[in-house]
Structure 1
Amino acid sequence: MNNDEKAIKRSEEITHNYFSFLDCHIQDVIQGNTSEFMELNEIAGKLAVSHTHLTDTIKKETGNHPCHFYDAKIIEQIKMMLLDTDKSIAEIAFVFTYDPSNFSKFFKKWTGLTPGAFRKQNFK
């Protein structure tokens, strides 16, 4: 295997490890096993790569910044909780370590709807 092939395999490995880590970490937050979302530099440290290398690798492999996927996976989990539980919007915000106002802004920025409007629209 030449150096280019090793670099490709390593970048695929880093990308795979990043997505796997996100899935586990987000579940840990939801389940209350950890009290807050990690910063990207902390995740890079857990994956034994630099913040810059992680960012460059994910961008090269996917075309998007790692934060894009972090937020997208959080939004995916929020949507499921909005549809699968009867928790209030405020309770869901706290599960995801947000205050309700910032939670609604974050959700609306991604989906175009407030959490309440999303829930209503999907419970016709």
Structure 2
Amino acid sequence: MNNRPKEISEKFVQIIEDNLQDLINGKSDDYLDIHTIASMMNIHATHLSNTIKDTTGKSPCDICNEKTIELAKALLSTDISISAIAYKLTYEPTNFTKYFKRHTGMTPSIYRDGLLKENT
């Protein structure tokens, strides 16, 4: 059995996670796009996209969004301001709020308030 598609998908996820950590840690200012990631992996962007879709059932964009929201939620459990989180993730604060709400059904501040209530 050919494990290459699984390896490609795992490498893609690792690159996304590393890029998000680099953004948060100030080591990068750019959110990598599919073409850049494909180039880093020495494959064509279409092949990368199709492989990820075939192995995970999700588009590369869906995976990026999931990982970004996962990290945003973790950051919202800290005392970092919402606007600082937005900038770290390469968003203007108002766009980050819209993005977060589109993917979670609530604003970052409502999410954070819910976390605070859980911990009291």
Residue type matched to 1:89 in 2?
A: I
Aligned counterparts of 1:71 and 1:43: Cα–Cα separation in 2: 15
Q: Which residue of 1 aligns with 2:51?
A: 57
Aligned counterparts of 1:38 and 1:88: Cα–Cα separation in 2: 24
Q: TM-score if structure 1 supplies the norm length?
A: 0.91
Aligned counterparts of 1:88 and 1:21: Cα–Cα separation in 2: 26
Q: TM-score if structure 2 supplies the norm length?
A: 0.94
Q: Which protein shows a greater Rg?
A: 1
Displacement of 1:96 in angstroms is 0.8
- Written as runs of structure 1 = structure 2, the 5 A alignment for 1:26-41 is 26-41=20-35
Partner residue of 1:19 out of 13, 18, 35: 13
Aligned counterparts of 1:81 and 1:43: Cα–Cα separation in 2: 24
SS of 1:22's partner is helix
Displacement of 1:23 in angstroms is 1.3
Question: Residues 30-88 of structure 1, C-alpha deviation per residue, up to 9 Å, x if partnerless?
Answer: 101011201111111111111100000000001110110111101101000001x2121
CA contact (8 A) 2:16 2:32 kept: no
- Written as runs of structure 1 = structure 2, the 5 A alignment for 1:27-106 is 27-83=21-77, 85-106=78-99
Displacement of 1:114 in angstroms is 0.2
Displacement of 1:20 in angstroms is 1.3
Percent of aligned pairs sharing the same letter: 38
Which 4+ residue blocks in structure 1 deviate beyond 3 angstroms? none
SS of 1:123's partner is helix
Question: Residues 76-109 of structure 1, C-alpha deviation per residue, up to 9 Å, x if partnerless?
Answer: 01000001x2121111111111001100010001
Q: Which runs of 5+ in 1 are unaligned?
A: none
Displacement of 1:21 in angstroms is 1.1
- Alignment RMSD, CA only? 0.9
